[in-house]
Amino acid sequence: MAGPLEGIRVLEITRNVAGPFAGKLLADYGADVLKVEPPEGDPARAYGPFPGDEPHPEKSGLFLHLNTNKRSITLDPSTGTGAGIVRRLAAEADIVLEDYAPGQAARWGWGWDVLSEGRPELVMASITPWGQTGPYHEYLGSEITLQAMGGPLQNNGHISMYPIKLGGNTAHYHAGAAAAYASMLARLRVEMGGEGDYVDLAVYECQAGFRDRRTVYMAAAAYTGYPSKRGGSQIRMGTGVRPTLDGYVNVLGSGNRLPALLTMIEREDLLENPDIHRPPAFVPQELIDEVEASYLVYLMQHTKMEVVTRAQELGILSGAIMTTEDLLTDPHYRGRGMWDTIDHPATGPLEYPGRPTIMSDSPRPQPRRAPLLGEHNVEVYVDRLGFTRQDLVTMRAEGVI
């Protein structure tokens, strides 16, 4: 059975993380995504991790992950010839994704006004750090600056230290998901007989509404007038990250779950102490220390999954702190087919994170590897657009492709 987005044609003129992730979400569910890379390749090809820690443009773990199920051509969209090719390709696309500087596509001759002329059904999404308008729209923006200005960075880390960035490309992945979502909303309207739309997406604004605490903190500040701050070292009895025999767990064992926690660590006798039932701030420190000491003894006698299994049996919110190796061997992921094994001529077979959802009547298409740089140049330029092979040689010499 075809994927749920079978028949949707996407022209992706994006680089790095946000735009490629938007295209990946569409491609992985059946959309025909044509990725346009600069002649030197998407900059993400230079980012690791690399197998064996040996940098190679065809072996970047980030690029391979972000570009499954796509085709790739090389093209410089800033040239006259390149802009003309973009217009021809966009004329056959349902959705166009781009991430160049605000107004850059228009200056090069393939902005929204040009591409949508005579095509009211077109959907185009422009992904930039700050958006197409506004006081900051010409500012540059990186992952850390966008987390700092728009996201929850100020709340991360210990109160005695500087703020800490969330790992990886959290802001840009979030923006990519938002771009794919917005594009599909606009496309749904087209499918229902309406018109397309131009999506102006700012990574900054996605962060302002980010579900990882930012929205909650902003709402709290709006209601109370007090901004949130980074926390200190206070220990909540039975709650938080703790070490185990083979790693760490995060257990929420305080409040009404404390009796269950004491049962787990075989200290039900402490329930007879009336002070144990007082609000957390009023429990005597010596009693807190006794609970924590017994808790630590228990934890150091068990593996993290043993602790989680027992805690869950008792109705205690809990989870193991999983390493990358843990995730690759996790029986739950394995049992639900989370990992895809995809072969690649440069890397051989590797395991990739698979689908985030399971659809009963629209199974995800068999995953395909990320394309080699310019792998589909002949297919697109010669077979589809009518260029000759000599034209390709000339355009390559001129730096167009």
Domain boundaries, the chain: 9-216+338-397, 239-326
Mention every residue, 6+ apart, whose C-beta is less than 8 A from residue 201: 125, 126, 127, 128, 131, 175, 178, 179, 182
Confidence tier at 1 by pLDDT (50, 70, 90)? low
Supply the pLDDT for residue 384. Answer: 96
* CATH fold of 9-216+338-397: Rossmann fold (3.40.50)
Burial degree of 378 (CB within 10 A; 0-12, 13-18, 19+): middle
The rounded distance, in Å, linking the Cα atoms of 189 and 185 is 7
Q: Are 26 and 34 in contact (CB under 8 A)?
A: no
Query: Considering only the top CATH level, what class is 239-326?
Result: alpha beta
Residue 345 has pLDDT above 60, yes or no: yes
More confident residue, 227 or 124: 124
Of 16-25, 34-43, 233-242, 338-347, the least confident = 233-242
Of the chain, the percentage scoring pLDDT greater than 90 comes to 76
DSSP H/E element including 10: strand 9-13
pLDDT digits (tens, 9 = 90+) for 90-146: 999 999 999 999 999 999 999 999 999 999 999 999 999 999 999 999 999 999 888
Task: Kindly report the backbone phi and psi dihedral angles of residue 30, in degrees, each rounded to the nearest multiple of 5, phi listed first.
Answer: 110, -10
Supply the pLDDT for residue 93. Answer: 98
Query: Per-residue DSSP letters for 68-93?
Result: TTEEEEE--TTSHHHHHHHHHHHTT-
Mention every residue, 6+ apart, whose C-beta is less than 8 A from residue 154: 148, 163, 230
Confidence tier at 232 by pLDDT (50, 70, 90)? low
Query: Per-residue DSSP letters for 95-158?
Result: EEEE-SSTTHHHHHT-SHHHHTTT-TT-EEEEEESS-SSSTTTTS---HHHHHHHHSGGGGSS-
pLDDT digits (tens, 9 = 90+) for 188-205: 999 999 999 999 999 999
Whole-model pTM: value is: 0.89
Helices (H) and strands (E) in the chain, counts: 16, 11
Do 9-216+338-397 and 239-326 come out as alike in CATH topology? no
Mean pLDDT, rounded, of the chain: 92
Supply the pLDDT for residue 255. Answer: 87
Strands 239-243 and 248-252: antiparallel
pLDDT digits (tens, 9 = 90+) for 154-191: 777 777 788 888 788 989 999 999 999 999 999 999 99
pLDDT digits (tens, 9 = 90+) for 379-389: 999 999 999 99
Question: How many other CB atoms are there within 10 angstroms of residue 243's CB atom?
Answer: 13
Of 123-132, 213-222, 289-298, 371-380, the least confident = 213-222
Residue 210 has pLDDT above 80, yes or no: no
